Amino acid sequence: MDEVMKMTLRHFGIFICVCDELGMTKAAVKLHMTQPSISQAVRELEEHYGVLLFERLGKRLFITEAGKRLLVYARHIINLNVQTEAAMRDFGKVYKLRVGASVTIGECVLLDLLQYIYKEKQEAQVFSEIHNTAELEAMLLRDELDMALVEGKVKSEYLVEQSFMEDELVFIASPVYAAKIQKSFEGLMKMRFFLREEGSGTRNLFEQVMQKYEVQFHVAGVYNNSEGIKKVVEAGMGVSVISKRVVAKELKEGKLVTFKIPDIVFKRHFHIVYHKNKYISPELRYMIDLCNKIDTIL
CA distance 206 to 242: 9
Q: CATH number of the domain at 97-165+270-297, out of 3.30.1300.10, 1.10.357.10, 3.40.50.10800, 3.40.190.10? A: 3.40.190.10
- Domain segments of the chain as ranges: 2-89, 97-165+270-297, 167-267
Within a 13 Å sphere around the CA of 29, how many CA atoms are in the beta-carbon half? 6
Q: What is the pLDDT along the chain (298 residues), one digit of tens a residue?
A: 344 447 889 999 999 999 999 889 999 999 999 999 999 999 999 999 999 999 988 778 899 999 999 999 999 899 888 877 776 766 555 557 999 999 999 988 998 899 998 888 877 789 999 999 999 999 999 889 999 999 888 999 999 999 999 999 999 999 999 999 999 999 999 999 999 999 899 999 999 999 999 999 999 999 999 999 999 999 999 999 999 999 999 999 999 999 999 999 999 999 999 999 888 888 899 999 999 998 777 6
Domains 97-165+270-297 and 167-267 equal at CATH topology level: yes
One-letter amino acid at 291 equals C
CATH class of the domain whose range is 2-89? mainly alpha
DSSP classification of residue 239? B
Say if residue 95 is exposed, middle or buried (CB neighbours under 10 Å; 0-12, 13-18, 19+). middle
Class of domain 167-267: alpha beta
Contacting residues for 136 by C-beta, under 8 A, at least 6 apart: 100, 101, 102, 145, 148, 150, 273
What do you get for the CA distance between the two ends of the chain, in Å? 52
- Residue 233 CB neighbours (<10 A): 27
Closest by Cα among 257, 262, 263 to 240 = 257
